[in-house]
Every structure is written in C-alpha cells, then in structure tokens.
Amino acid sequence: MKLHEYQAKEIFARYGIPVARSEIASTPAEAKSAAERLGGKVVVKAQVHAGGRGKAGGVKLVANAAEAESAAAGMLGRNLVTHQTTARGVPVRKVLIAETTPIATELYLAVTVDGDARAPVIMGSRAGGMDIETVAAEHPERIIRVKADPSYGIWPYGARDMARALGFPPKLVREAADLILNLYRVFVDNDCTLAEINPLVITTDGRVVAVDSKLNIEDDALFRHADLKALADPEQQDELQRRAEAAGVKYVKLENGRVGCMVNGAGLAMATMDITEKAGTPPANFLDVGGSANEDRIAEAFKLLVSDADVRAIFVNIFGGILRCDIAARGVVQGARESGSRLHIVALLRGTNAEDGRRILADSGLKVTFLDDLSQAGAAVAATLPAQGARR
C-alpha cells in the first residue's frame, strides 16, 4: 500500500527527520490561506500515488499566496499524468503547500528490501532529484548500497561512513547519519517495502531537509497497522487492481498481451504465462485465484479478465486440489453470464472433480476448447485468437 507524500511527511516528522513546514489543502482557497500562514513563498505539490510530478507540472514553486491559489486551482480536480502513471493519470484531490527549501545539493536516500541479500538495504546517491532508475541503469557506481542486518539494522558508525561517502561535509555528517538511522527506524517500525527521500537536500544555509517523502507499506503487514491502513486512498489505484484486491486474487496486468489467463497457484500461473508467451500469444495478465477460491471469487476473477479490453481469449488452467474443478467451472460460467462475455475459452482442468468441471463447462453454452495436457495449450490458445486487431 502506498502513502501520500503528506502522510509520509507526518511520519518522518515523528521520527525526527527534518521536513519543511507544510499544510494540506483540498481547495484553492485553502491553498491560499495555507500559503499566507507559511510566508507566501511556497511550493505547491499535487498529492498522488506516483512520482515524476516535478516534470509533469505537479510541483510548482510560487512567489506568493495568490500564485499558490492559482497553482492549486490548476491541479485540484484534474488527473495528473506522469511517467509513472497510466495515460489516464491519477486524480489530484489534495495539494501540499510547503515552505520552499533553498536547495544547494539534491541527494537520494532510501531503504528497501533486497531479495538477493535477504536483508534490508540502505541506498544513497549524490545523484538525487532525478529518476533513480536512470541513475541505476546508466551510472550504477553512483549508488551506494549498505546492507543492514535484519536483527539490529546498522550501527551508528556505519551510518556515519555512509554519510561521508555521500559527500556530506564534516559538520553535517552527524546529522545525516542520524537521519539515515531514523529513516531505517521508519522502515522497520512501519513494515515498509520502501522508505524513500528523493531529493534529500542540503540547503544553501547548510541544513539537511527531506524535500520529498515516499513510503510503501507491506500489504501483508497491514493487519497490525490499523493507523496506516486508515490512510489508504483506493481512488489512486488502477480500477482492475482495486477490484482484484477486493476479491482477494493476485492480478498483474501485462502490456501487449491478448490472452486472459485464469490459474490457481502462483507457480502454475507463471508456467502458464511462459507457455502462452512461447506460443506467440502473449498473456495479458498474471492471475492467481489462490488455492481456496470459491465460486464467487472465480466469477469476479473472470469478470476482471474480460473487462480488460486487450483480452481476446481466455485460458483457464486449474489444477484441482483444495479448489475443486467443478467449483472453478461454476465460477467461470457465473462470471461469463454476469459479464455477458462471448470470448472463446480454452480450458485445462485436472485433479479433483475434473470430469464434473468439464461437464459444467460443456453444458454451459459457452465456446470452450478442452485440453488434456499443457503441451497442447500454446497451439490451442493461438487457434482461438481472432486475427490481430480484429474486434471482439
């Protein structure tokens, strides 16, 4: 789950991470009065669950409260499109009005989980302010990575070494090291998958300020963070993603695919994607309905698949275990009926109650091609796909 910048800033402040004074506003009038209280010269920042706002017109430095009002009016109620959003963008409902920070240097600092290292890793770079993916791709040597020990984190001397390596001048090393340790505490205490400051700024008058703030929380840990869970803003999420989460299915939309895949189990889902990809009919999604799905969940998953306009055929690959094939088949029939979908279905049902499942699909009146094993899948799926570009 993602937090908004203003929400992350409040958490940063509680952990002693220096942030600019700021107020949140939902209307241009609120933005104006907030700017007046903050001294007029402020930065107006669209609050969306996406980075890259600066280049997309979602961050505006203004000289006075009247300009803050009109900058806010230009952002609020519109969708902001950045390189991290879809072409439709994400709605701006709030703007953060922050005291401007006089910037001398922009750095990058983040804590995330390194799967290979099986540990949290603290990453820093003097090439802050810009897209860190670009820095990582073109100048990996400019990113400093310090592995933390999951049991104790990092020691203060490790944080000081890192601060020096990042180029903090001697009289700011102590402060920067404290900030690194505090960011690490934010990360651990809140079960984050990412705690990021980009840019972390050295001001012209020699202070350190977190100018941007990003926190992503591990969904599976939200049960123990009711306060964080309350900060969710589902409107910022992609519609299909939101429906998938509500239904309890793991769904990832993929670009350029035409086959909607419905599978139980993550491993089988990945194998299914590989097979359709190899057959020259790329999958439109990853979808794992889970081991214990019921009819309604299967039906909702089916409806998710067919509401993706890229999907031209459906491949149902169920290995019946705890999830019985007859239940899966009923769910598919229900989903097809409720969505009115006429898409061709390729079905491979094996395991518990596979015969019943086939019969239910065969009797449903839907267009179904049955397979006996996975080796037939590529050709069968390819055969059901309408010619490229044909309308469904």
Q: Which is nearer to ligand GDP, 59 or 380 (CB)?
A: 59
DSSP notation for 238-301: -HHHHHHHHHT-EEEE-TT--EEEEESSHHHHHHHHHHHHHTT--BSEEEE--TT--HHHHHHH
Residue closer to ligand GDP (CB basis): 129 or 331: 129
Which part of the chain contacts Mn ion (CB under 5 A), choosing from 57-65, 67-75, 190-198, 242-250? 190-198
Q: Which of 22, 47, 85, 101 binds ligand GDP (CB under 6 A)?
A: 101
Residue type, 35: A
Minimum Å gap between C-beta 96 and ligand GDP is 9
Q: Per CB under 6 A, does 194 bind ligand GDP?
A: no
Stretch that binds ligand GDP, among 49-57, 87-95, 136-144, 248-256 (CB under 6 A): 49-57
Contact between 23 and Mn ion (CB under 5 A)? no
Q: Which is nearer to ligand GDP, 59 or 215 (CB)?
A: 59
Considering only the stretches 33-41, 100-108, 148-156, 306-314, report the one whose residues sit in contact with ligand GDP under the rule CB under 6 A: 100-108
Q: Which of 30, 196, 251, 300 is catalytic?
A: 196
Residue of 53, 258, 303, 330 interacting with ligand GDP (CB under 6 A): 53
Q: How far apart are CA 221 and CA 103, in angstroms?
A: 36
Q: Which of 108, 184, 251, 300 is catalytic?
A: 108
Closest distance between ligand GDP and the C-beta of residue 213, in Å? 8
Residue from 23, 30, 67, 212 that binds ligand GDP (CB under 6 A)?
A: 212
Amino acid letter, residue 304: L
Near ligand GDP by CB under 6 A: residue from 13, 40, 78, 103: 103
Please give the backbone phi and psi of residue 97, each rounded to the nearest 5 degrees, phi first.
-105, 115
Which of 101, 198, 281, 285 is the binder for Mn ion (CB under 5 A)? 198
Strands (E), the chain: 22-25, 42-46, 59-62, 79-80, 90-91, 95-99, 103-114, 119-125, 143-147, 192-203, 208-210, 214-217, 250-253, 259-263, 285-288, 313-320, 344-351, 368-370
160 binds ligand GDP (CB under 6 A): no
Is residue 374 exposed (0-12), middle (13-18) or buried (19+ Cβ within 10 Å)? middle
100 binds ligand GDP (CB under 6 A): yes
- Smallest gap from Cβ 30 to ligand GDP, in A, equals 19
Task: Tell me the three-class secondary structure of 104-115, residue by residue.
Answer: EEEEEEEEEEEC
Partner interacting with residue 158 (select from Mn ion, ligand GDP, none; CB below 5-8 Å by kind): none
CB-CB contact of 324 with 353 (8 Å): yes
Place of tokens 């002693």: 16
Residue 332 binds ligand GDP (CB under 6 A):
no
**x/- letters, 211..240, toward Mn ion (CB under 5 A):** -x----------------------------
Q: Indicate the residue among 30 and 212 with the shorter CB distance to ligand GDP.
A: 212
Rounded CA gap, 96 and 119, in Å? 33
Among the listed residues 36, 214, 29, 210, the one whose alpha carbon sits nearest the alpha carbon of residue 112 = 214
- Output phi, psi for 308, to 5 deg: -85, 115
Q: Which one among 18, 28, 51, 357 touches ligand GDP, defined by CB under 6 A? A: 51
Q: Which is nearer to Mn ion, 22 or 198 (CB)?
A: 198
Told to judge if 152 belongs to the known catalytic residues of this protein, a careful annotator would answer: no
Identify whether 108 is a catalytic site residue. Answer: yes
Q: Is residue 312 close enough to count as binding ligand GDP by CB under 6 A?
A: no
Contact 40, 63 (CB under 8 A): yes
Alpha carbon separation from 37 to 23, 31, 93, 169, 221 (Å, rounded): 9, 10, 21, 33, 38
User: Looking at beta carbons only, is 200 or 346 nearer to Mn ion?
Assistant: 200
Interface stretch with ligand GDP, choices 52-60, 136-144, 161-169, 377-385 (CB under 6 A)? 52-60
Which residues, including other chains, have CB under 8 Å from residue 101's CB and lie 6 or more apart? 20, 43, 201, 203, 209, 211
Residues marked active site are found at 108, 196
Using CB under 6 A, list all residues that contact ligand GDP: 43, 45, 51-54, 59, 61, 100-101, 103, 106, 129, 198-199, 211-212
